[in-house]
Amino acid sequence: MGRFRSRGRLRLGTSVSANLNTRRYENGLRRALGGMSNDVKRAVDRTRIDVQNEARRRAPVDTGRLRSSIVSRAETSGRTAGYVIGTNVNYAAAVEYGTAPHVIKPKYKQALYWPGAAHPVAKVNHPGTRAQPFMRPAIEMTEIFFRANLSQIRGR
């Protein structure tokens, strides 16, 4: 069975990656079909696209900026095929993991004010936001997508 690892927390400028150990699959394909390593790479690449699309599908939408910023790239070296999927928007981690209650204070002014507020205030006690995971559930589907893509290749 292939294994995948996801590394790190989703932060600005970072990403989540998945590495598939394709040796077992590749060895089985070589025995059965005579050296289909390009097909295994193709299955990993299709899996990368499937996971990217799943993360986009699961991403909450307000303006669409987060959803459209989700990208992926292949990372293949030697006998290891993998990919990195991520986003560069600065609030992605807050959406994925939620935020704890916190105090909002003005940075440049003496008070906070917004349209509809009764009066300016010195601080706001924010209750926090609930987590809306979109990247982790997509990454968790890596093996399911990989098996489906591999079976399509075998079924040709």
The answer to whether residue 6 is domain-embedded is no
The answer to whether residue 54 is domain-embedded is yes
Element (H, E) at 75: strand 71-77
CA proximity to 9, closest of 73, 86, 65: 86
The answer to whether residue 3 is domain-embedded is no
What is the spatial distance between Cα 142 and Cα 72, in angstroms, rounded to a whole number?
A: 13
**For the segment 25-73, what is each residue's pLDDT rounded down to a tens digit?**
666 656 555 444 677 888 889 999 999 999 999 999 999 999 999 999 9
The reported pLDDT for the residue numbered 18 is 66
The reported pLDDT for the residue numbered 80 is 72
Residue 78: pLDDT band (50, 70, 90) is low
| Domain ranges, residue 137 | 15-98+131-154
Using alpha carbons only, give the angle 30, 33, 34 rounded to the nearest 5 degrees.
Answer: 55
Name residues whose C-beta falls within 8 Å of residue 84's C-beta, 6 or more positions apart in sequence. 15, 16, 17, 72, 73, 75
Residue 50 CB neighbours (<10 A) = 19
**For the segment 104-150, what is each residue's pLDDT rounded down to a tens digit?**
999 998 999 999 999 999 999 999 999 999 999 999 999 999 999 98
The answer to whether residue 119 is domain-embedded is no
The reported pLDDT for the residue numbered 39 is 78
Q: How far is CA 7 from CA 4, 32, 77, 116, in A?
A: 10, 33, 18, 43
Structural domain count, the chain: 1
The reported pLDDT for the residue numbered 37 is 64
Phi, psi of 93, rounded to the nearest 5 degrees: -65, -40
pLDDT at 1 over 50: no
Q: How far is CA 19 from CA 3, 47, 80, 124, 142, in A?
A: 7, 11, 7, 43, 9
Q: Is 18 exposed, middle or buried (0-12, 13-18, 19+ CB in 10 A)?
A: buried
The reported pLDDT for the residue numbered 21 is 67
Sign of torsion, CA 5 139 76 8?
Answer: negative
The reported pLDDT for the residue numbered 9 is 47
